[in-house]
Structures are given as structure tokens and as C-alpha cells.
């Protein structure tokens, strides 16, 4: 009888638990940052943000269990995968909340998840249309566009408020950033991996004497509880909001596909189109569950992929333990309540590091594309420019119909659409060959020395 692959091998319980806890600690800050940022941007109170955090952890745990263990032939890649809330959907969700309300945010997420489940198998067959050129461009736009959100948390969003752009808040955020950079760059082993989480904790301690940490009402949440389905009311489904969240799901699919292929390479476990499709079904299910329980769309966390490579612990049962821990954390509302009291400048400082990291991951992904090819370089440059335009030019589309602004004001949807279409035209049609032929050298190039200037 052949020996089981390391991915399918169970470790002694103590080792599984230890490595499972490590995975949770590595991804925890990134996971809870999404509900913290969204809740602050949407103007939610601390109690409601606490509920979002609990739901976020619960859904992340369920999807991690599905991806690690699988559900028959229906869902789950059966790889050592840890999932959590993605930053890709953050800006579109904020825009939808401001235009249509929270009912539309979670209604459109629910339908986006259903669309994702339906398209998982077809997407796995056409994944070649989402190469690093497309995914890297989109991740770069996502990271850069979210830096403005982090800035809003640090200085505030109301210029008329007394505390707007307070130097003390900016200083606090700067210290949080320095602590994170110090631990990540100078720390060793687990200290480096937990650098952002340590910076978050240090920021809370520093904020206490500044009067930024309010404990009023703390302790009112239950110790044990299940997030209430459709907490904000019956879901609503504006067409543009649904389109925006469906585009988010497509981007998540492309990102998750790259992560699953990376895990396959790291562990030596072959991944076929069926495995990819079942993994993408897991992403779609996160949208469905997120829409029901007011959580967020999940993706595979690349920092945990890095942890698998660094530790060489390939067992998917380890990440299943991580999923179980996340589920338990999600069933303790008191944890979400405590996390929700973190001051906004601290969240903004941590967010700045995490969002910029997303942009760097995008740039690193673009390195896998042939940017020495002038056509590919032009595709990336144009798509990034289009994606960042609404983020850097406030009010650009304000005279357009309000329904269209959800799509046009989102750098994610514009950047993703531009990258996908340009790549399709110039890398999958004869027009691409024609474009490259037109810019190819036609013969030896001679140069004439420049002796003067005009």
C-alpha cells in the first residue's frame, strides 16, 4: 500500500494544535482588519462592529474547514489552506453601503457568492485568461486604493470635527507602523510573523493614556452566541451592486487560483482542474455565508501559504485545526466586542502596513509577467492608471447616474475590467501578434551622436 502524501497525513494531536494556533495568529490581524475598517467607514457603532468581527471569524473558520477537509466532490481543495476576509471587496462594499445601505451590501454579496459557486467549474477551465499580468495589476490597484481608507481612519473623515488630523493621532499611527516594521524586519521566527499583531496590541496600550480607548458598555455581549442571519434586515439586490460584487468574486477566484497552484508547488501535491474548481466553490460559498451572516468574502491568505513553505508542515489537518479554532472564536461575541474597541488611528496604522503589503504583492506578481514586452507593460500601466483614477480624482463620476457610480467609483472594478479586457484583446487574439510585429525591430539600429540641443 502506497504511503500517504504529507498533505493527507495526520500529525500527533499536540503538533497539529500548535501549528494550527500558529496559523491563526499569523492571519488573525489581517482577518479582523477588514470588519474594523469597513465598520468605521460605514459609520457603525462598536457593538455592531463586534458582531461583524464574530461573523467574520465564524465564516473564515467554516471556509477553512471546507478547503482543508473537503465536502465530498462538491467543495474544498483538500490542501493546507487558511482563509479569511479579503481586502479586494472592501472598497466596493464601502461604496455600496454609502449609496444603497447595508442591506444592499450583503444582498449583493450573497448573489455574488451564488454566481461564484455557479461559475467555479467554468472558471477553472478558463483560468488562462487571468494570468499574473491581470491578477498582479488588480492587487496593485487594491493595495494603493485602500491606503486612502487607512488615512481616513488615522486623521478622521470630517474636516469640521475638533479632532480632525490631530497630530497625536498621526503620531500614534506612526509609532504603530514603526513597531510593525521593526518586528517584521528584525524579528526572528514567530516574532516576525506576529509583528503586525504585536503592533496592534502595543497601539492599544499607547492609546490608553491618550483617552482613545473607551470601555463604556464593554462586557454587554454574550460569551457564547451565533451571529444572527440578515442582521441588517432583508437583503436588497441593486443591479450595479451585484455586478460589482460579482467582479470582486472573479478577482478573488484569480487570486485563490494562484495561491492553490503555489501550495501545490510547495507541497508537491498535484492539483487538477477539479481540485481548483472545488477550491473556487469554497470561495463562492464564503460569499453566500457572508451575505447571510453579515460577514465578508474570503480568500486564501498568502501569509499562511508562506508559513506552510517556511515550516514544511504540509498536513491539511493542521489548517483544519486552524479552521476549528476560528469557528470557536466566532462563537464568542465577547471577543468581537473587545476587538471593536481598538482606536481608529491604531487600526489605520496597521491597515497602512497591510494595504501597502497587498500592493507590493501585486507588484511581485507582475514580475511573473513579461513586462519587458512593451504590450504587456502597456496593459499593466493602463489598467493601473484606470483603476487608480477614481481613487485619486474625487468626484470624477459624480455627474453620472448614481447606479453607475458604484462601478465607476471603484478602482477594483475598473482596474480589473481594464486588465482583463486588454489582456484578452492583446494576448488571446491576432491583434496581439499584429501589435508585437509592429513594434519589433525591422533591422539593425544605428545611432547618430547628439552634438547639440535645441
The residue whose grid cell reads 533591422 is: 443
pLDDT of 446 over the 60 cut: no
413: pLDDT strictly greater than 50: yes
Reported as a single tens digit per residue, the pLDDT across 288-320 is 999 999 999 998 887 777 667 656 788 999 999
The answer to whether the CB of 51 falls within 8 A of the CB of 102 is no
Q: Are strands 298-300 and 83-85 parallel, antiparallel or unpaired?
A: antiparallel
Distance CA 84, CA 319 (A): 12
Please enumerate in sequence order all residues whose Cβ is within 8 A of that of 163, keeping only pairs 6 or more positions apart, or say none: 156, 169
Question: If pLDDT is split at 50, 70 and 90, which confidence band does 398 have?
Answer: confident
| pLDDT beyond 90 at 285 | yes
The band of 453, judged by pLDDT with boundaries at 50, 70 and 90, is very low
The shares of helix, strand and coil residues in the chain, as percent rounded to the nearest 5, are: 70, 0, 30
Predicted pLDDT of residue 450: 44
* Global confidence as pTM: 0.74
In the chain, the percentage of residues whose pLDDT exceeds 90 is 28
Q: Are 81 and 308 in contact (CB under 8 A)?
A: no
Query: Residue 321: is its pLDDT beyond 90?
Result: yes
**Quick check: 359 and 143 in contact, CB under 8 A?**
yes
DSSP H or E stretch at residue 84? strand 83-85
Rounded Cα distance between 91 and 334, Å, is 27
pLDDT > 70 fraction of the chain, expressed in percent and rounded: 90
- Cα–Cα distance measured from residue 94 to residue 406, given in angstroms and rounded to the nearest whole number: 10
**Would you state the pLDDT for residue 355?**
77
Quick one: DSSP state of residue 438?
Answer: H
Dist CA 79 CA 70 (whole Å): 9
What is the mean pLDDT of the segment spanning 159-188? 87
What is the arithmetic mean of pLDDT over 153-171? Answer: 82
**pLDDT value at position 159?**
78
How far, in Å, CA of 85 to CA of 298, rounded?
Answer: 4
Confidence at 385, pLDDT banded by 50, 70, 90: very high
Summarize pLDDT for 62-81 with one digit per residue, the tens: 999 999 999 988 899 899 99
Q: What is the DSSP string of 120-177?
A: HHHHHHSGGGS-HHHHHHHHHHHHHHHHHHHHHHHH-S-TTSTTTT-HHHHHHHHHHH
Maximum average pLDDT range among 22-26, 148-152, 332-336: 148-152
How many Å apart are CA 92 and CA 79, to the nearest integer? Answer: 30
Lowest-confidence region among 184-193, 200-209, 243-252, 293-302: 184-193
Q: What is the pLDDT of residues 262-275, one digit of tens each?
A: 788 778 888 888 88
Q: Give the per-residue pLDDT at 161.
A: 77
Distances 434 to 382, 422, 444 between C-alpha atoms, Å: 19, 14, 21
**What does 78-105 look like in DSSP terms, one character per residue?**
-SS--EEE-STTHHHHHHHHHHH-HHHH
> 371 phi and psi, to 5 degrees?
-80, -5
Low-confidence winner among 21-30, 142-151, 212-221, 355-364 (lowest mean pLDDT) = 212-221
Give Cα 267 to chain centroid, integer Å: 23
pLDDT value at 451 more than 70 = no
Cα 274 to Cα 114, 124, 159, distances in angstroms: 19, 8, 52
Nearest 10 degrees: Cα torsion 216, 294, 196, 364: -160
What whole-number distance in Å separates Cα of residue 286 and Cα of residue 108?
13
CA atoms of 62 and 282, how far apart (whole Å): 10
pLDDT band at 4 (very low <50, low <70, confident <90, very high): confident
Q: What pLDDT does residue 46 have?
A: 81
Q: Looking at the predicted structure, is the pLDDT value of residue 203 above 80?
A: yes
Could you tell me how far CA 412 lies from the centroid of its own chain?
12
Per residue, what are the HEC states of 308-369? Answer: HHHHCCCCHHHHHHHHHHHHHHHCCHHHHHHHCCCCHHHHHHHHHHHHHHHHHHHHHHHCCC
Secondary structure element (H or E) that encloses residue 298, with its range: strand 298-300
What span, in angstroms and rounded, lies between the C-alpha atoms of 116 and 84? 17
pLDDT for 219: 60
Residue 18 near residue 324 (C-beta atoms within 8 A):
no
Amino acid at each position: 500500500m502506497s504511503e500517504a502524501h504529507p498533505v493527507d497525513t495526520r500529525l500527533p494531536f499536540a503538533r497539529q494544535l500548535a501549528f494550527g494556533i500558529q496559523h491563526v495568529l499569523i492571519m488573525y490581524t489581517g482577518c479582523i482588519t477588514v470588519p474594523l475598517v469597513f465598520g468605521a467607514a460605514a459609520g457603525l457603532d462598536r457593538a455592531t462592529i463586534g458582531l461583524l468581527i464574530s461573523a467574520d471569524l465564524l465564516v473564515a473558520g467554516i471556509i477553512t474547514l471546507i478547503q482543508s477537509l473537503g465536502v465530498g466532490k462538491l467543495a474544498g481543495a483538500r490542501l493546507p489552506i487558511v482563509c479569511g476576509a479579503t481586502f479586494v471587496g472592501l472598497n466596493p462594499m464601502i461604496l455600496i453601503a454609502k449609496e444603497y445601505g447595508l442591506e444592499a451590501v450583503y444582498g449583493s454579496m450573497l448573489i455574488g457568492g451564488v454566481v461564484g459557486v455557479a461559475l467555479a467549474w467554468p472558471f477553472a477551465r478558463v483560468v488562462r485568461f487571468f494570468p499574473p499580468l491581470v491578477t498582479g495589476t488588480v492587487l496593485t490597484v487594491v493595495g494603493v486604493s485602500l491606503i486612502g481608507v487607512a488615512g481616513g481612519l488615522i486623521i478622521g473623515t470630517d474636516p469640521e470635527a475638533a479632532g480632525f488630523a490631530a497630530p497625536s493621532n498621526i503620531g500614534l499611527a506612526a509609532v504603530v507602523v514603526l513597531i510593525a516594521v521593526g518586528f517584521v524586519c528584525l524579528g526572528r521566527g514567530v516574532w516576525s510573523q506576529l509583528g503586525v499583531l504585536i503592533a496592534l496590541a502595543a497601539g492599544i496600550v499607547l492609546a490608553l493614556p491618550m483617552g482613545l480607548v473607551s470601555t463604556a458598555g464593554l462586557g454587554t455581549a454574550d460569551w457564547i452566541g451565533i451571529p444572527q442571519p440578515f442582521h441588517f434586515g432583508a437583503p436588497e439586490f441593486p443591479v450595479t451592486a451585484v455586478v460589482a460584487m460579482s467582479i470582486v468574486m472573479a478577482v478573488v477566484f484569480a487570486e485563490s487560483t494562484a495561491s492553490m497552484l503555489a501550495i501545490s508547488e510547495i507541497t508537491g501535491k498535484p492539483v487538477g482542474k477539479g481540485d481548483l474548481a472545488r477550491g473556487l466553490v469554497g470561495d463562492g460559498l464564503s460569499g453566500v455565508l457572508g451575505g447571510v451572516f453579515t460577514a465578508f468574502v474570503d480568500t486564501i491568505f498568502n501569509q499562511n501559504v508562506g508559513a506552510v513553505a517556511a515550516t514544511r508542515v504540509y498536513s491539511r489537518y493542521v489548517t483544519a485545526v486552524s479552521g476549528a479554532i476560528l469557528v470557536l472564536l466566532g462563537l464568542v461575541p465577547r471577543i468581537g466586542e473587545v476587538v471593536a474597541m481598538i482606536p481608529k488611528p491604531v487600526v489605520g496604522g496597521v491597515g497602512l502596513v497591510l494595504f501597502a503589503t497587498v500592493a507590493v504583492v501585486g507588484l511581485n506578481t507582475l514580475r511573473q509577467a513579461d513586462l519587458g514586452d512593451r504590450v504587456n507593460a502597456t496593459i499593466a500601466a493602463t489598467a493601473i492608471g484606470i483603476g487608480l483614477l477614481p481613487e485619486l480624482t474625487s468626484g470624477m463620476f459624480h455627474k453620472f447616474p448614481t447606479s453607475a457610480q458604484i462601478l465607476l467609483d471603484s478602482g477594483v472594478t475598473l482596474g480589473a475590467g481594464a486588465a482583463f479586457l486588454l489582456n484578452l484583446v492583446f494576448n488571446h487574439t491576432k491583434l496581439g501578434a499584429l501589435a508585437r510585429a509592429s513594434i519589433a525591430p525591422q533591422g539593425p539600429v544605428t545611432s547618430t551622436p547628439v552634438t547639440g540641443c535645441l
